[in-house]
Structures are given as C-alpha cells and as structure tokens.
Structure 1
Amino acid sequence: MKFRVDRDVLADAVTWTARTLPQRPPAPVLSGVLIRSEDESTISLATFDYEVSARASVAAEASEQGTILVSGKLLAEISRSLPNKPVEITTEGTKATVVCGSSRFTLLTMPVDEYPSLPELPELIGSIDSEEFTHAVQQVSIAASKDDTLPLLTTVRIEVSGDKITLLATDRYRLALREVSWQPAKPDLETSALVRARTLSESAKSFSSSGRVEIGLQTGAGVNRIGFLAGGRVTTSQLEDGDYPHVRRLFPESTPIQAVVETAPLIEAAKRVALVAERNSPIRLSFSEGQVVLDAGQGDDAQASEAIEATLSGEDISVAFNPHYLLDGLSVLGTPYVRLGFTHPNKPVEFIGQRTETGETLDEYRYLLVPIRFTS
C-alpha cells in the first residue's frame, strides 16, 4: 500500500475517527484505525469497538492499493505534529512508514483479518440542518447522567413524529427537552431511539458545519443501530434497550409565579457568586419586584452576594440550585432573556428562553431543574 495525502486532511480524519477508540480495548486490534485505499484518489479511515463505528473518506493519491491497521491514538498524535507538508505512507511487511518532509516514523501494523466487519449505515429515515441539530443535541445532552450504573439515564431519547424530532434527557435532578423540525423520508414516520449522550454529542459537534446530516435507523432486526452521515463522514452507534421513564409529565401545566431575567448578566453573576460555594453547596436566588439577589456561603464560610434586575409576576420567592446545573441550563439557552416558572419553592423550576423581556417564549427548548432545600 502506498498513498500521498495533505497533512491537515490526514490529521483531521485520523483525529475524528480515533475519538471513538476505547480507553481499554477488549482486543488489541480495536485500538487501531483501519486505512483502506478505495481507489486511486480516495482513502478511507475507520474505527469500531463493536458498539460505535466511525468512517471518513478523504482525497489522496493512492499509487498502490491495500489495507492497513495501525495504532489510532499514535497515528493521531504523529499526524498532528508533522510539518505542514504532504504526507506519504507506505507499507512493507508488518511495518508502515510515515514520511513528511524530513520527518520519518515507522509503525507496526496489526493483522487486518482479525479486525471485525464494520457495520453498514442503517436505512436513512430523514435529514436535518447540521447547525440546528448540533445546537439541539448540546442543549439536551447536558442533562444526561454520567453514572454508568444507570445506563438508560446516560442516553438521549430521540422521538420522531412526522416532520418533528424531540430530544429528551434527564439525570433525575434536571430534565431537558428540545423540539426541532426536520425532513423525514416518510411523512407519517413514528419511531424512537435511545442513543448514548456522549456518542450523540461528539457526533453532532463533528457535523456542525456540514450543511445537512442524514440520519439512519435500524430497529427490530438484529442489533438496533442509529447512523449519521455528513460531509463524507459516517458514525454508527448501537442503541440502548429499555423503557425510558415518562418524563414529559414532569413539566408543569402552568406556573403562577414567573420571573424574567437577562441571560448574560444572570450567568456572570451566578459564576461570581458560585466562587464561594463549597462542593455540593447551592447558590440561592431570591426574587422580588425589580430584582433577583444571588448569594452563597453562610456562617463562618466565605460569602458572596449580588443583585441584578429582574421582572417578577406573582409573589416573592426564593430557591436554591446546584450552581453547575444552573449554569449548564443558562449557557445553552441561546436567547437574550430567560423566563423562570415556579409552582412552589421546593418544586422543579422551568427555564424557557425569550428573545425580548416581554416577548413570547421560545418553548421548543425547556429545561427543568430541581431546587435544593435550604434553611433560611
């Protein structure tokens, strides 16, 4: 095998495919990136760990056809460090040589015949704008659990109903929901899938500037998988099985107390006040007409307090939040104002974005956060 490729093109493709490599591969070959010359002008790079696969096709000058398997993480580090010149990779026996300018590396190859067969992209069921998809995934995935002992809660539930996709995620302390329009292959399509939040988030980020993302889904026959195709790159992921909790009913039907605050000042104030909050300590938000006071710390500990403007509808109310969960939700709103809806000081609070202080809410994204009980 022998091919020549641009340094930046190689580094980008290897880094993208290697991102899915397992930290502790169950077999040595699963730590490798599979490089195949498709024809005289294209090579493909792929990784697979039996659950998640990634494939990228890039332009290259392939003078000798073939397939090699080399350490993905090592090749990624090497390709990023090479000088800005064309890269030539050749194989001889069980070794692969990487030459770029005066730099030369020799890598050991792994047996290609021991590498598992890559899964095919599932049947395409529709497409979505890549930037909107990336933003929606970012908004929802923050609420997914990081606790692998509760695998269902580490996923994002994707619900498809006609021309609308709904993304849902929860870790029991917060809940995020985002609705987004898309173009289904069949107008009456109704289906759902549980996708690992980490895989979905990483895939969405890599497709953010690709124009549109094609989505494929395979359920009910063999291994259930979802797939994403954009910009010459394909990612597939095995779906999680199980019954996702019925979380939609947790959103309140009405909120008798509402407060509207400018998002950016609230984020900055929360960051400053949270500096004195010890581990697992909340920051308190006290709403009254015309302002909200944020404070943290008590007793002999360090303390902080800051007041910013707010519009309140209803009686005065005070709540306390985990500062990280609060900032997570505020940072992905993407709107100048945020409306907080309250039913009771100890009940979950709903966050919805607004374009103006008195304008209609943008309830295609809803973030529900459970407050922390505190003693006045």
Structure 2
Amino acid sequence: MKIFVEKSIFSNELKLFQGIFEKKTLMEILQNIKVTAFENGVLELTATDLEIGLQSSVKVDVREPGSFTVNGRDFYDLISRMPDGPVEISENNDLQIVINNASKTSKYKLMGMQSSEYPNLPESDFSQSIHLNSAKLQSMINKTYYIISPEMKFNLGGALLSLGSERWEMASTDGHRLAFCAVDESISTGESLEFIVSRKTLLELLKVGEDLDIDFAFDKNNLFFKAGNRVLSARIIDQKFPNYRAVIPESTRFKAGLNAEALLTTLRRVLVFKTRNNGVFFRFDKGKLILERSTPEKGEAHEELQIEYSGDDIKAAFNGHFVLDFLTHVETESIEIGMNDGENSFVFKPVSSQGVDFIYVVMPLNL
C-alpha cells in the first residue's frame, strides 16, 4: 500500500477518532485504527471499541491500494506533528508502516497489525433515514451530557433521546439532579422514537456532526448517525430510563431572577474552600441571595447578591459544583430559580429559551 495525503487534512480527520480509543482494553487491536486505500482514490478510516464505531473517508492519491491497522493515538500524534505538505504513507505487507514527508527529511516506522483481524462495524442502511438538525441536536447534547458520569452504567449511563412528531426531547440524570431540554422539531416517521444514547456517543456526535446536518437510522441493535463522509454507529442501551418527569415540580410558589454571570463568579469564589460534599448554603431573602460556606479546617465564606425576589425566606444547601455545571451551560444573561421550600427540588432555567427549552432540577443536600 502507498498513498500521498495532505498532512493538515489527514490530521484533522484522524483527530475525530481519538475519543473512540479506550486507555485500557482487553483487545490490543481496539487501540488501533484500520486504514484502507482503494483504487478509486478513497482512503477509509475505521475505529471501534465494540460499543461505538466511527468510519470516515477522505480523497487521497492512491499509488497502491491496501490495508493495515496501527495504534490510533500514535498514528495521529505523529501525523499531526509532521511538517506541512504532502505525507507519504506506505506498507509492504510486512506490517511496518513507513511515513515520510515530501522532502524525505522525516522518516518514521510504526508497527501495525493485520487488518483482517480488525472487528467489523455493523452495517448501516440510510435508505429511510431521519434528517436531524445538527445545531439543535448539539445544543441539546451540550445541555445534558455533563451530568452523565463515565463510570455510570446501563440506564443512567446515557441520555434519553425522544423524537416525536412535533417535539424532540433529551433528558439526563445521575439520581441527584436532572437536565431536560426540548426543541420544536418534527420527524417524518409518523411515530415517536425513544433511545438511550451513551455519554461517549453524545460526545462523539458533538465532534463528527459539527457544522453538518445528520441523517439518523437504526436497527434492532444499533443507532447510526451520518454526517457528510462520516458514519458513527452505537450499540443501543437496552434498559429502561428512570421516570424523570416525576421529579420535575408541576409548579413552584416562589421564583428568583438573577444575573447568571454574577452568580457564576461569586460561586467560584465561595468554592475555593474544598470540602467533601462541596456544600454551599443558598439563602433567598427579600431582594437578595446569600451564599455561605464554613469549614473548620479552611475557614468561612459569605457573599450577598442582589436579585429579584419577594417570596418567603428560604434556605437550602446545594452541591456547589452542580450549580456551576448549570451556569456554565446556559447561554443567557439572566436565569430564574423556582422553589417551593428548602427541602424539595429547585428548578433552574434560563430566562429566554433561544429556541431550546431547558430546565435543570437539583435536590438540596441534607446538611
């Protein structure tokens, strides 16, 4: 196999695959990327961790078709650091991948593995695919993915994506908080669809679907997302998602309006003191919000913010980092906090939706 490819183009495409490779795996070949050159000048790239897979193609100068697999991180790190201009990549059936720059002043060899040993990706069929607006889908992902911990498994290891005839919804929860968002969009299937999409899949969608609309398809085992020359496949999480709607208060008696940036800046100062549960007391009083934190080993913090509030005096403790997560994922200047008392769920949301309805529900800490 021998190809010539522009370094910048190839490096940018390889970068998309870096999130697929796990740091630890029982199969060494899953650390690799499969590279296949065809006579028609197409270079196909494939990577999988057996849960999700990514395949893309780029146009290159193919002198000799062929295929190999090589460590995906090493391959990207090397290509991205090569001098600008064309890069020559060759392999002569000896599993030694030779990489040269155009002037032959840089030469590297990487050891590969047989491409025949590489797992196959599931077959995708986009003949009856559903068109998804990438900008709206990515906005929903950005507002929900951060709640999902990489350590979470099964039904809490992903976000629930619901596609209806008039509305798309996405929800994620870790048992202590909930992020929910919705957009007014429709699908053409005539029936509603619902899937749990893993955190890793959501993060890869943010990369492969950037600035490109997405065609979505599925079979009984897998989800498929096509964006331009890229196809992302993901195994369906066959679990029941928690009844998240039960934790969203039907109404709130009191509402506080305040500046998102002011609360973000203040809360970051208060959280300078490190504690086990990151607890911060929020006290809502007439026209002001008081933030307090006290640790015997570190000291005390007291902050007051001017807010729009005329309800009862309510005090509750929150994991401060949970509130920070919300504040770093809203795109509006003002937010609203809804509450009934200091013991039940609080509802955080931006004042204006900007096309995406977004609410964030947090349970107070028992301090």
TM-score of the superposition, structure 2-length normalised? 0.93
Distance in structure 2 (CA, Å) of the matches to 1:31 and 1:13: 17
Is the partner of 1:347 in helix, strand or coil? coil
**Equivalent position of 2:279 in the other structure:** 282
Shift of 1:39: 4.1
Distance in structure 1 (CA, Å) of the matches to 2:327 and 2:202: 21
Equivalent position to 1:333, from 330, 333, 336: 330
| Farther-moved stretch of structure 1 (76-85 vs 165-174) | 76-85
Equivalent position to 1:136, from 140, 153, 167: 140
Superimposed CA distance per residue, residues 108-147 of structure 1 (whole angstroms, 9 cap, x where no aligned partner): 2211111122222354542222222212101111222443
**Equivalent position of 2:107 in the other structure:** 104
Is the partner of 2:272 in helix, strand or coil? helix
- After TM superposition, the structure 1 = structure 2 runs for residues 220-259 of structure 1, keeping only pairs within 5 Å, are 224-259=221-256
Distance in structure 1 (CA, Å) of the matches to 2:163 and 2:209: 20
CA contact under 8 A between 1:144 and 1:153: conserved in structure 2?
yes
**Equivalent position of 1:63 in the other structure:** 63
**Equivalent position of 2:301 in the other structure:** 304
Q: Which runs of 5+ in 1 are unaligned?
A: none
Distance in structure 1 (CA, Å) of the matches to 2:17 and 2:292: 45
Superimposed CA distance per residue, residues 302-327 of structure 1 (whole angstroms, 9 cap, x where no aligned partner): 11222122111421211211111110
Aligned AA for 1:175?
Answer: L
CA contact under 8 A between 1:18 and 1:33: conserved in structure 2?
no
| Farther-moved stretch of structure 1 (74-83 vs 275-284) | 275-284
**Equivalent position of 1:202 in the other structure:** 204
Equivalent position to 1:116, from 119, 136, 139: 119
Q: Percent identity?
A: 22
Equivalent position to 1:369, from 321, 346, 362: 362
CA contact under 8 A between 1:5 and 1:61: conserved in structure 2?
yes
Shift of 1:172: 0.3
TM-score of the superposition, structure 1-length normalised? 0.91
| Farther-moved stretch of structure 1 (317-326 vs 291-300) | 291-300
CA contact under 8 A between 1:178 and 1:364: conserved in structure 2?
yes
What value does the CA root-mean-square deviation take over the aligned residues? 1.9
Distance in structure 2 (CA, Å) of the matches to 1:34 and 1:162: 39
Distance in structure 2 (CA, Å) of the matches to 1:370 and 1:69: 48
Distance in structure 2 (CA, Å) of the matches to 1:276 and 1:246: 35
- 1:7–1:309 CA distance, 2 compared to 1 (3 A): same
CA contact under 8 A between 1:42 and 1:57: conserved in structure 2?
yes
**Equivalent position of 1:6 in the other structure:** 6
Is the partner of 2:217 in helix, strand or coil? strand
Equivalent position to 1:167, from 167, 170, 178: 170
**Residues 1:190 and 2:183 aligned together:** no
**Residues 1:84 and 2:84 aligned together:** yes
Is the partner of 1:109 in helix, strand or coil? strand
Shift of 1:76: 1.1
> Which contiguous aligned blocks of 4+ residues in structure 1 show a shift greater than 4 angstroms?
360-363
Is the partner of 1:201 in helix, strand or coil? helix
Shift of 1:185: 3.6
- 1:67–1:163 CA distance, 2 compared to 1 (3 A): farther
Shift of 1:299: 4.5
Is the partner of 2:100 in helix, strand or coil? strand
CA contact under 8 A between 2:208 and 2:230: conserved in structure 1?
no
- 1:181–1:205 CA distance, 2 compared to 1 (3 A): farther
Distance in structure 2 (CA, Å) of the matches to 1:152 and 1:177: 16
Aligned AA for 2:55?
Answer: R
**Residues 1:323 and 2:320 aligned together:** yes
Aligned AA for 2:342?
Answer: P
Distance in structure 1 (CA, Å) of the matches to 2:19 and 2:304: 43
Is the partner of 2:21 in helix, strand or coil? coil
Superimposed CA distance per residue, residues 316-341 of structure 1 (whole angstroms, 9 cap, x where no aligned partner): 21121111111001211211111111
Shift of 1:55: 1.1
CA contact under 8 A between 1:225 and 1:236: conserved in structure 2?
yes
Superimposed CA distance per residue, residues 274-310 of structure 1 (whole angstroms, 9 cap, x where no aligned partner): 1124231311111112211112124563112221221
Q: Report how many residues are paired.
A: 363
Superimposed CA distance per residue, residues 189-224 of structure 1 (whole angstroms, 9 cap, x where no aligned partner): 3111111112212322342222x12222222xxxx1
CA contact under 8 A between 1:218 and 1:226: conserved in structure 2?
yes
Distance in structure 2 (CA, Å) of the matches to 1:250 and 1:323: 20
Distance in structure 2 (CA, Å) of the matches to 1:323 and 1:372: 10
Shift of 1:361: 9.9
CA contact under 8 A between 1:69 and 1:109: conserved in structure 2?
yes
